[in-house]
Structure 1
């Protein structure tokens, strides 16, 4: 039959050259973003995803790696991005023909006992040739949704990055508070011993001794509470990194922050940079473009289409074999669909307005996030120097008050007040260091620039 060779030549011409194999002929795996743990700058191509607590002390970099590798949300957003990449392949498949095969076998039985068999088979090639933009709009919509999914993954990465750093710095601050309260307990013990010694030789009143003992007991209670809070902070950090709360975690010491860390940048420039880089804003922009493509899709549903159909047929009826084939063009012209297309277009256009409003809301939120983070970091930077001076003066005041009390020229109230002020100053210093580290990371996230470069050592005079 002459029709068969021509048919198969047409089918072969319609099929693309699949270098990537039939499992992914459109290369959608390459369209999908990298795994979450590899997306951030300076880490692509390095060690594989971390799943175990390091044998050395845990650094901020280790904490971020573990959080990104082990957190379920990282797997969730990556899977969602890969699913959307596959939908790009679905949209592109609309440009290719489809080939269907059919076969049937029927036995006919007559009342007089006669019977005969009929067997038939056919191949049908269907190819949509013209649809006035529907397939192009489908591909555009799918690609924009993929861009939105990739940007949403970036936003989730930065959220988890910041959460890991906040948990790490909070645990480190809790441990520093234990050291501070232990030092306050030691000073209170020394004051109590001095008051007890003075009381023993009759130069101090019982009230002095009781006040010093009360301060000592309070300092001990503060240290016990600080140790409990430190254990809770370590448990919360272990949980955030994907481990059981009782997992042993040893934190690395961070460099001591000086009070000379400068941070002065033009806030307008920061906001403009954030609006260009923030992944959630990029996701909103992509969602808006996808909604605009959906309007085109809705409009094309009311437009004509031209399709090609061709294929050979074979039939055997009671031993009589017939072969044939067909080829033809079909013009489909929608005339009236009960205003279905009209309202689909109206709905899609309304969704464009929704996405535009969401994009504008996020843009305003970006500016607010940058403003707040900038002001918080500026305050924390100034607080570092102030708390350093505060601790230095409080330490000197405590030493003077203790010396005066031992020499018999100072009161126990002066000594206890100086020790209380020193303990408060040390805790404020710890809080200032925690705030500076956290707000520095928060500003980077607000600008869409939170990555591993943030964890490089900070030089004096540089933010």
Structure 2
């Protein structure tokens, strides 16, 4: 008599092999998984470790980007989504391998007053040898969806890169606005002191003194509001870097010199470059190919399949053992599915049209993004140059008006007007510099070329 435990032993062996395989990566999906988003993956030097804490030195734009890519939860989220899709590629490849199933059972039953014990075991190897192309289509769909996930990850990294720069430059600008409004408050106080001195000696009217007092109060209010906006900007910067909004941050001072405002490139060439480089366009194109593969998959699911199965069996009833085996071929012919396949194919084909329309819409949006960013940068460049002259002339006008008023040949309205114009010019200068830095980064992101090379001049002395 054959050993009745032999089938059970085979079953347990197969189970052990299956459990062991779970911990492995037999299809090497780790190789096709996109790398985790880090500064190094975005073009940072390979020897720079991933930043986890705010540096002790004043924060630079590069530091802000480093911390964002290392700590912002979106980087973990998008990388996890890419790993999910890489695992789906492994699932699609697993369908090509045979399956091994084990089954054991035991029962006790009564017949004519007697009790009988029965037990059985079976080990079945099954293999789908023909499926009309369903597995190939499913694998192609999974690979295209992985390509879409990888491109989406790249786009998310660039979006976070831009968000970090926007938050950093905004924080810098609001801090500069605090300095500007503080200086405007000092000038307004000087004007008030001059008006009060003239009023005390009887050469100025009470109206002059009240106008100067009002201007000083307004300047103080502007400074208080600027300080609040600066605190909010620092909170937004800490948030995008993955820290609590109340984190204490110290920023480097803005550069004393003007940035290099030269930018001479044809906008048509930039749009053409964006159509090649934009990660979200690559993701949309992969989504179209995945939808096309899904049509093939749905069509194949309504076609014949052929499967093989084999394996040993063992049964024992009332101490009588029976050993055997099975070898079978199963042909599945879907003759009528209630039009289920027909409508599934129609839905899949319509989904291809949806993805194709989304791709065309995104291409138009990319062209618009590049156009608007280019025009905004051009405007910011011209504004930046103009505000330099504006501040210089406003400073000269304010000095002349103050001197004339102290000398008794000018009016307090002339002085307050000049001071207001100077404060406005300084704020416009700050806003123009902020716009230039932000729109430069926005244009690079709209083209799909936003990386650390944009910040290389900053590494040599600029923020």
TM-score with structure 1 length normalisation?
Answer: 0.90
Q: Show the 5 A alignment for 1:185-264.
A: 185-258=185-258, 261-264=261-264
Aligned residues between the structures? 449
Distance 2:236 2:285 in 1: 36
Distance 2:40 2:121 in 1: 52
1:443 matched to 2:415:
no
Give the Å deviation of 1:222.
1.6
Compare 66-75 and 263-272 and name the one that shifted more: 66-75
Instruction: Give CA deviations for 1:383-417 in whole Å, capped at 9, x if unaligned.
Output: 11000111111111212222222333322222222
Give the Å deviation of 1:300.
0.4
Distance 1:106 1:232 in 2: 72
Secondary structure of the structure 1 residue equivalent to 2:306: strand
Classify 1:404/1:115 alpha carbon distance in 2 versus 1 (closer, same or farther; 3 Å). closer
Give the Å deviation of 1:38.
4.4
Instruction: Give CA deviations for 1:65-105 in whole Å, capped at 9, x if unaligned.
Output: 22233333222222111111111111100000001111223
Secondary structure of the structure 2 residue equivalent to 1:382: helix
Distance 2:41 2:270 in 1: 20
1:90 maps to which residue? Answer: 91
1:73 matched to 2:98:
no
Distance 2:99 2:448 in 1: 44
Conserved? CA contact 2:148–2:283, under 8 Å? yes
2:123 maps to which residue? Answer: 123
Classify 1:44/1:93 alpha carbon distance in 2 versus 1 (closer, same or farther; 3 Å). farther
Give the Å deviation of 1:120.
2.4
Distance 1:90 1:37 in 2: 28
Distance 1:115 1:278 in 2: 75
Classify 1:390/1:120 alpha carbon distance in 2 versus 1 (closer, same or farther; 3 Å). same
Give the Å deviation of 1:243.
2.5
Conserved? CA contact 1:91–1:139, under 8 Å? yes
Distance 2:375 2:162 in 1: 18
Distance 1:25 1:330 in 2: 28
Classify 1:227/1:96 alpha carbon distance in 2 versus 1 (closer, same or farther; 3 Å). same
Distance 1:312 1:250 in 2: 73
Give the Å deviation of 1:313.
1.9
Conserved? CA contact 1:235–1:245, under 8 Å? yes
Compare 122-131 and 215-224 and name the one that shifted more: 215-224
1:407 maps to which residue? Answer: 407
Taking only aligned residues, the RMSD between alpha carbons, in angstroms, comes to 2.6
Instruction: Give CA deviations for 1:220-277 in whole Å, capped at 9, x if unaligned.
Output: 2222221222122222322332333322111112323527511121111101111111
Distance 1:98 1:180 in 2: 73
Secondary structure of the structure 1 residue equivalent to 2:25: coil
Distance 1:423 1:247 in 2: 30
Conserved? CA contact 1:257–1:433, under 8 Å? no
Secondary structure of the structure 2 residue equivalent to 1:209: helix
Distance 1:380 1:342 in 2: 56
2:433 maps to which residue? Answer: 433
Give the Å deviation of 1:425.
0.5
Classify 1:319/1:215 alpha carbon distance in 2 versus 1 (closer, same or farther; 3 Å). closer
Q: Show the 5 A alignment for 1:28-107.
A: 28-38=29-39, 40-43=41-44, 45-107=46-108
1:304 maps to which residue? Answer: 304
2:347 maps to which residue? Answer: 347
Q: Show the 5 A alignment for 1:255-334.
A: 255-258=255-258, 261-334=261-334
Instruction: Give CA deviations for 1:175-230 in whole Å, capped at 9, x if unaligned.
Output: 10111111111222222222333334443333333322322222222222212221
1:337 maps to which residue? Answer: 337
Give the Å deviation of 1:115.
4.4
Distance 1:188 1:81 in 2: 58
Distance 2:146 2:301 in 1: 23
Distance 1:375 1:381 in 2: 10
Unmatched 5+ stretches in structure 1: none
Give the Å deviation of 1:160.
2.0
Compare 294-303 and 25-34 and name the one that shifted more: 25-34
TM-score with structure 2 length normalisation?
Answer: 0.90
Give the Å deviation of 1:56.
1.5
Compare 193-202 and 83-92 and name the one that shifted more: 193-202
Secondary structure of the structure 1 residue equivalent to 2:309: strand
Distance 2:424 2:459 in 1: 28
Unmatched 5+ stretches in structure 2: none
Compare 243-252 and 294-303 and name the one that shifted more: 243-252
Distance 1:41 1:232 in 2: 28
Distance 1:128 1:414 in 2: 91
